[in-house]
Amino acid sequence: MTSGNDGLLSLLERSGDDEASLDLKILKEEFEGEELEKAVKRRANGEPLAYILGYRHFYKECYKVCPGVLIPRADTEIVVESALKFLGINEMATGDLLKIPSYGKDLSDIRFADLCTGTGCIGISLANEISRRGGRAFGCLVDISDTAIAVASGNVTSQALKPEDIKILKHDVLGTVPELGKLDLILSNPPYITNGEMEELDPQVKDHEPDLALRAGDKGMDFYAPLADIAIKLLKDGGALIVEHGFGQGDLVREFFAKAGLHDCMTIRDYGANPRVTIGIK
């Protein structure tokens, strides 16, 4: 390794930044020689660790990620946890999750869609957990991004327990209602960052993760009314729309859901006590 990059490694090691030290430790475990040099340079330039590694763990799986697709966050796992509680297979549920009503349907034929799917982590994780419980889930992962479609397709192949039961669809959910048939569940982690918030984001996010997966207009609300309309048209009676949103957006999301005709709308706090997920029932 060249002396210049040795100096860069030493700088990171001496920085006193716990995150930087941990990232460096991980990079040393994953790479060596010239590849380590390149990886450290990328991280020192602010590129997210997940892009450098090419993967991110989410729920019980390990998903491929790359520049151009949103990196899965631990906070988003509450979307999966909420769906599992709705289906009656989350015995470890605590806090606000306990408020979620039970669908009461047998798990042998669960139909779902994961809209704005990105890596596919929400839909694949849900389908896998249903399979682990002896059920069967048929899902469709939907996104407008060609990069997301490619990454999600790869993750279905490598991570889904029953990849033959999960389809991929390129579609703009802000345009028309996708032709997916009747569904038990619709899940989504759509863009919800306001135009103003975009300018204040950590450069690691703003400069590297896709604007298309983050930005949602002046109020961050561009997607919720269309998602509610899709839910009214596609959900079976008693089915649920479950979406992630920003911590200050729950009230408005519930208003959109109720206006569209969904009922029993409620907002669920994540494990950090931040309002994170809103549910509406058809």
Mean pLDDT of the chain: 93
| pLDDT value at 148 more than 80 | yes
Q: pLDDT above 70 covers what percent of the chain?
A: 94
Q: What is the pLDDT of residues 95-140, one digit of tens each?
A: 999 999 999 999 999 999 999 999 999 999 999 999 999 999 999 9
| 8 confidence band (pLDDT: 50, 70, 90) | low
Of residues 10 and 67, which shows the higher confidence score? 67
In this predicted model, which residue has the larger pLDDT, 221 or 15?
221
Q: What is the pTM of this model?
A: 0.93
Q: Looking at residue 44, what is its pLDDT? A: 87
For the segment 168-197, what is each residue's pLDDT rounded down to a tens digit? Answer: 999 999 999 999 999 999 999 999 999 999
Residue 12 pLDDT more than 60? no
Is pLDDT at 18 greater than 90 in this prediction?
no
Task: Report pLDDT for 21.
Answer: 79
**Amino acid 3: pLDDT:** 43
- DSSP string for the chain: --HHHHHHHHHHHHS--HHHHHHHHHHHHH--HHHHHHHHHHHHTT--HHHHHTEEEETTEEEE--TTSPPP-GGGHHHHHHHHHHTT--TT--GGGGGSPP----GGGEEEEEES-TTSHHHHHHHHHHHHTT--EEEEEEES-HHHHHHHHHHHHHH-SSGGGEEEEE--TTTS------EEEEEE----B-HHHHHHS-HHHHTTS-GGGTB--SSS-TTHHHHHHHHHHHEEEEEEEEEE--TT-HHHHHHHHHHHT-EEEEEEE-TTS-EEEEEEE-
pLDDT of 23: 86
The answer, yes or no, to whether residue 2 has pLDDT greater than 80, is no
Residue 24 binned pLDDT confidence (cut-offs 50, 70, 90):
confident
Query: Residue 11 — pLDDT band, cuts 50, 70, 90?
Result: very low
Query: What domains appear along the chain, each with residue ranges and CATH number?
Result: 3-45 (no CATH), 69-281 (3.40.50.150)
